[in-house]
Each structure stands twice: as C-alpha cells, then as structure tokens.
Amino acid sequence: MFGDMMGKLKEAQEKVEATKKRMNTVMVDEKSNDGLLKVTLTANRELKSIDIDDSLLEDKEQLEDYLIVTLNKAIAKATEINEAEIAAVAKEGMPNIPGLDMFK
C-alpha cells in the first residue's frame, strides 16, 4: 500500500512538472483600457512581447504608468491561470490517504 501511494505521489509530481512546462505555451494578453499598450506573457509569467503605441513615446512618465498597470494586470491573470492549472493537476493526482482529507 505504501509503495502504491509513493507511486501515485511520483506520478502526481510528474504531472505537475509537465503542467508547468505546458504553461510556457499558454499566452496571456493584456492591454491598457484605451488599447495603446499591449503585453503578452506566458502563464509562467515570462514576458513575450510589448506593443507600445507611438503616442505613448512622447511622455515617459505616462508610458511608465501604463507599463506598470498593464504588466501588473497581465501578471495577475497569468498567476491565476498558473495556480489553477497546477492545483487541478495536484489535486487530481493526490492519493486517498486516510486522515489527510482535512487538506482538501
């Protein structure tokens, strides 16, 4: 029984690692409310692209504000997707261990 549980835990861990790798291919797009700034990140929160409208290049402070707000929104979305995917895989792979159901 113990060996079976260890095998299931190892399998769950492998699924989590595979999901983490897959999150590199899941793209999260976010743009400013007016569409002048667009960013793309992976669900692992790696920045892939930034598209800045020329009008934002005239005001450094405004551009910085746009980048902070838009990137933070994109990071929050990517984190939400990442955590949900990892949690789903981890929960699915957890063996039924008596006494541990309090963690569900």
Mean pLDDT of the chain, nearest integer:
87
- Residue found by looking up tokens 């897959």 in the block: 22
Total of domains in the chain: 1
Q: Find the CATH number of the domain harbouring 47.
A: 3.30.1310.10
In a domain, 102, yes or no: no
Q: Which residues contact 60 (CB under 8 A, 6 or more apart)?
A: none
Of 13, 12, 24, 37, whose CA–CA distance to 78 is shortest?
A: 24
For the entire predicted model, the pTM comes to 0.77
In a domain, 34, yes or no: yes
Summarize pLDDT for 41-81 with one digit per residue, the tens: 999 999 999 999 999 999 999 999 999 999 999 999 999 99
In a domain, 104, yes or no: no
Residue 93 confidence (pLDDT): 66
Number of H helices, E strands in the chain: 2, 3
Which of the two residues, 59 and 96, has the higher pLDDT score?
59
Q: What span, in angstroms and rounded, lies between the C-alpha atoms of 77 and 84?
A: 11
Q: What span, in angstroms and rounded, lies between the C-alpha atoms of 1 and 79?
A: 36
In a domain, 103, yes or no: no
45 lies in which domain range?
A: 2-97
